[in-house]
Amino acid sequence: MIAKIKQLLEEVETLKASNAEELEALRIKYLSKKGAINDLMADFRNVAADQKKEVGMRLNELKTKAQERINALKEAFDSQDSGSCDLDLTRSAYPVDLGTRHPLSIVKNEIIDIFGRLGFSIAEGPEIEDDWHVFSALNFAEDHPARDMQDTFFIEAHPDIILRTHTSSVQSRVMEVSQPPIRIICPGRVYRNEAISYRAHCFFHQVEALYIDKDVSFTDLKQVLLLFAKEMFGADTKIRLRPSYFPFTEPSAEMDISCNICGGKGCPFCKHTGWVEILGCGMVDPNVLESNGIDSKVYSGYALGMGIERITNLKYQVKDLRMFSENDTRFLKQFEAAN
């Protein structure tokens, strides 16, 4: 009997199982009611009285060791299981951090929406342009300062190829391939060789509008300008036009709106004048129509253009232009509500 117990003790101390089924088979073999250890327990009553004490102790030791060994193997399996899959599938997911629309995109879309309701469709053109579409077709004289190297990015090997300095280049591209009525807006990025500071950048964004048809007059232009200002800055907004000069329009004007920050009373933003400048406009110069194959005796039109950064500054009082291109999410997040 004692020899049998010793043999089983050796066996259980070296038990191995490579999966849960094998482990269960071992438990049945040694520890179940019909297992080897219970068989020995059943034989215990046949043990001689003087050996009962020692056999009893050894039997208990065997049973404890067998239980311990099987428990240890089970624990090893359990920790292996959780090691291969340490995901807690019941935990709630990390919140997904959604991006927000860029303030310039928000304002650009608002402008597009206002002009869209007036029947203007969107036209786009290349940012890398030729001199003709950016300057010549728009009535810029050969010696116009805007062509100067100081303002325009030229490509050294091809001085005729430039980064467009305004979105008006899209107007000439549309005019050369279509006949009036033309009613388009051209949103896009433009480039100028300027030192980067809080109030200037080497690239910025514009939206231009162009309307060409028979009998288009300055009155039509003023009406659209007033409507745009009221839609963009509120129904109380007033506008005023100051005479100006642009090569591609004649007459030309710059438009101010009553300062939307102080309501026209005067504040540091409007330099205490009550007015802030927001865009340039005018009647399309007949030379421009002719350059682009449109009969200036039959058709007339107006054009207007504005900087999207300028409008965004007015709406949100962003004091440093550079913030628009720094991609600082702390800045961009502030416009979440406007999305």
Tell me which residues touch Zn ion (CB under 5 A). 259, 261-262, 267, 269-270
Nearer to Zn ion, 257 or 304 (CB): 257
Smallest distance, Zn ion to C-beta of residue 271, A = 8
Question: Residue 313 Cβ, how far from Zn ion at the closest point, in Å?
Answer: 13
- 250 vs 254 by CB, closer to Zn ion: 254
Q: Find out whether 250 is annotated in a ligand binding site.
A: yes
Task: Transcribe 68-94 into DSSP letters.
Answer: HHHHHHHHHHHHHHHHH----TTSPPP
d(CA 129, CA 55): 102
Task: Give me the least distance between CB of 191 and Zn ion, in Å please.
Answer: 31
Sheet holding 158-163, edge to edge: 128-130, 158-163, 154-155
Nearer to Zn ion, 204 or 275 (CB): 275
In angstroms, give the least distance from the CB of 312 to Zn ion: 17
Least Å distance, CB 270 to Zn ion, is 3
- Give the shortest CB-274-to-Zn ion separation in angstroms: 6
Of 193, 300, 284, the closest CA to residue 246 belongs to: 284
Q: How far apart are CA 216 and CA 320, in angstroms?
A: 38
CA-to-CA distance for 165 and 156, rounded, in angstroms?
Answer: 17
Is the separation of the CB atoms in 234 and 260 below 8 Å? yes
Residue closer to Zn ion (CB basis): 207 or 270: 270
Residue 148 to residue 310: CA distance in whole angstroms? 24
Give the closest residue to 115 by CA, choosing from 311, 339, 335, 319.
311
Kindly tell me which of 284 and 314 has the beta carbon lying closer to Zn ion. 314
Q: What is the largest CA-CA distance in the chain?
A: 134
In the complex with Zn ion, the residue whose CB is nearer, 247 or 274, is 274
- Comparison of 161 and 262: residue with beta carbon closer to Zn ion: 262
Per the omega criterion (within 30 degrees of 0), is the bond before 251 cis? yes
Please report the beta strands in the chain, taking only residues with DSSP state E, as ranges in sequence order: 121-122, 128-130, 154-155, 158-163, 182-191, 203-213, 239-246, 249-258, 275-284, 300-307
Q: Which two tokens stand for residue 89?
A: 């599938």
What is the distance between the alpha carbons of residues 63 and 187, in angstroms, rounded to a whole number? 85
DSSP-derived secondary structure letter, 200:
B
CB of 257 to Zn ion, least distance (A): 10
Annotated binding site for Mg(2+): 250
